[in-house]
Amino acid sequence: MEREEDARKIAERIEDERRLRRAEKYNRHLQQIRVEILLPIVDFATKIAEYREMTGRLIPLSLFRQWRLLLLSGKPLFPESHTADQEIDTASDTVALRMNSTEIAEDREALLDEQDLQDYIWTIGPSSFETDAFTAVSRYQVPL
| Residues 9-63: tens digit of each pLDDT | 999 999 999 999 999 999 999 999 988 899 999 999 999 999 999 999 999 988 9
- 85: nearest Cα among 41, 36, 38, 35: 35
106 pLDDT tier (thresholds 50, 70, 90): confident
pLDDT confidence of residue 76: 86
CB within 8 A of 108, min separation 6: which ones? 70, 75, 76
Asked if residue 16 belongs to a domain, the reply is yes
Report which residue type is found at 104. Answer: I
108 part of a folded domain: yes
Q: How many domains does the chain contain in total?
A: 1
Closest CA to 35 of 84, 98, 94, 99: 84
| Residue 138 belongs to some domain of the structure | no
What's the CA gap between 61 and 71, in Å, rounded? 15
Domain housing 102: 2-125
**Domain assignment present for 143:** no
Contact between residue 74 and residue 40 where contact means Cβ atoms under 8 Å apart: yes
Higher pLDDT, 134 or 41: 41
pLDDT, one tens digit per residue, over 59-85 is 998 899 999 998 998 888 887 644 444
Q: Is residue 21 part of a domain?
A: yes
Is 130 within the bounds of a domain? Answer: no
Domain membership of residue 58 (yes or no) is yes
Cα separation, 87 vs 95, whole angstroms: 13
Residue 141 lies in a domain: no
